[in-house]
Amino acid sequence: MQADSQTLIHRIDVGLAERSYPIHIGRQLNSELPLLLSNLPQQVCIITNATIAAHYLAPLQAALPSDRTVLVHAIADGEHAKSLTSYAEIMDTLIAAGFNRDCALLALGGGVVGDLAGFVAATYQRGVDFYQFPTTLLAQVDSSVGGKTAVNHPGGKNLIGAFYQPKAVFIYTDCLNTLSSRDFACGLAEVVKYGVIYDAEFFSWLEQNQAQLLARDPETLAYAIKRSCEIKAEIVAADEREQGLRALLNLGHTFGHAIEAEYYHSWRHGEAVAVGTVIAAHYMRLQEQFTESDYQRIVRLLKNLGLPTQAPALDELKWQQRMQRDKKVKSGRMRFILPTRIGHAEMRTITDWSAIWQAISAVTEHTD
Ligand SMILES: NC(=O)c1ccc[n+]([C@@H]2O[C@H](COP(=O)([O-])OP(=O)(O)OC[C@H]3O[C@@H](n4cnc5c(N)ncnc54)[C@H](O)[C@@H]3O)[C@@H](O)[C@H]2O)c1
Ligand SMILES: [Zn+2]
């Protein structure tokens, strides 16, 4: 309905003491935005890329208070743009325009734009105001919440970065209408993850609403995004710097990173996480600590949402090497996030590689 599309549907507060901030979830860049952005400083720089700008730059610019100096800096499209080179180029833009400490950076885009713009905001003049306008589902439910910012280095992903919280996050579900189905599915993998690690009821809701989700029904999307952000916000508020609880968000990621690293041309992060989640659940099932029916529910939901549930063929040694590099490895011991039932997961150290390998092989696609 037209009237509804003009109003904000949800607001969530991320509780981090003096760095607390709101996440606004609405349908489209709307009439309330000028009000919400009325405190913006005089100098504003929007960071985006051409793909996203074609759809959403004009509405965002139109929503900004008209007396502000607004710069637009577009980076290249793709993960390779999350680099020190792009970082330096944005710094050049800001310095050339004489932006001072009292300026604001607005990230309009997916996780690449958000992570990069956030790292620039964290370090330009020792930190300036930062606002996120995430336009991919992954960015809306995951990367725009929690304050991790970074750029990649040829030696690895996200190696250079900082924890830096935005002033506010603005999420619009209509932005997802232009997103490819593959990118959309990748975001859903992270949404399913929240159900598996934290909220059995949400997992059931996802099962019941999968058709509406896939149809990108705005209200269904708004609820899925809201619940995902609430869960992430709760976890981040309890453990901002990943000393414990926050590690749960890495369910499926240790396995997923191995696939992503080996198959970076053909596998997306969310797809690898979906398969990693299946491997983690299968491992627990082999240990008789996870039920067959819960395992089947996870596989079925991921499949129905358009995600892969089988790993590509990969050598045992390659798997082992890749997983040894995971950030959760402490003193050479591999630590995994493992579900004990739908709605609950724990971090466990596993020393028996053969048990892990058994789970990986069982979930690997056999082409012969
Ligand atoms: N900071 C964190 O906590 C965190 C968490 C998860 C992932 N990440 C990072 O996020 C990045 C991945 O983010 P992503 O999946 O959003 O990828 P992305 O930013 O590359 O976006 C995916 C593609 O969709 C395009 N796009 C974006 N919005 C669109 C829209 N509304 N319509 C049409 N096309 C659109 C982009 O141009 C790009 O081609 C990775 O670098 C990852 O490391 C960070
Ligand atoms: Zn992820």
We find that the CATH architecture of domain 2-178 is 3-Layer(aba) Sandwich (3.40)
Catalytic entry in 27, 167, 269, 322: 269
Reply yes or no on whether the pLDDT at 37 is more than 90: no
The confidence score (pLDDT) of residue 1 equals 35
| Known catalytic residue at 126 | yes
Q: Is the CB of residue 82 below 6 angstroms from any atom belonging to ligand 1?
A: yes
Q: Is the CB of residue 47 below 6 angstroms from any atom belonging to ligand 1?
A: no
Please tell me the distance from the alpha carbon of residue 173 to that of residue 168, in angstroms, as a whole number.
16
Question: Which atom from ligand 1 is nearest to the alpha carbon of 145?
Answer: 3
We find that the CATH architecture of domain 191-362 is Up-down Bundle (1.20)
| Known catalytic residue at 153 | no
> How is residue 13 annotated by DSSP?
E
Q: Is the CB of residue 146 below 6 angstroms from any atom belonging to ligand 1?
A: yes
Distances 157 to 19, 150, 190, 269 between C-alpha atoms, Å:
26, 9, 18, 12
Q: What is the pLDDT of residues 116-151, one digit of tens each?
A: 999 999 999 999 999 999 999 999 999 999 899 999
Q: Best substitution site from 112, 190, 250, 253 to test ligand 1's pocket, by max atoms within 8 Å of Cβ?
A: 112
The confidence score (pLDDT) of residue 18 equals 74
Q: Is the CB of residue 81 below 6 angstroms from any atom belonging to ligand 1?
A: no
The confidence score (pLDDT) of residue 4 equals 46
Q: What is the pLDDT of residues 232-291, one digit of tens each?
A: 999 988 887 887 888 999 999 999 999 988 887 899 999 999 999 999 999 999 999 999
Q: Cβ(235)–Cβ(222) under 8 Å?
A: no
Q: Cβ(167)–Cβ(118) under 8 Å?
A: no
Question: Which atom from ligand 1 is nearest to the alpha carbon of 113?
Answer: 19
Q: Which residues have C-beta within 8 Å of that of residue 155, sequence separation ≥ 6? A: none
Half-sphere exposure of 298 (CA within 13 A, CB side): 36
Distances 58 to 35, 51, 107, 156, 251 between C-alpha atoms, Å:
18, 13, 14, 35, 38
Chain-centre distance for alpha carbon 53: 20
Q: Best substitution site from 77, 130, 143 to test ligand 1's pocket, by max atoms within 8 Å of Cβ?
A: 143
The confidence score (pLDDT) of residue 364 equals 95
Q: How far is the CA of 308 from the centre of ligand 1 (A)?
A: 19
Binding residues for Zn(2+): 190, 253, 269
Q: Best substitution site from 14, 138, 236 to test ligand 1's pocket, by max atoms within 8 Å of Cβ?
A: 138
Q: Where are the domains of the chain?
A: 2-178, 191-362
Higher pLDDT, 15 or 231: 231
Catalytic entry in 18, 126, 292, 330: 126
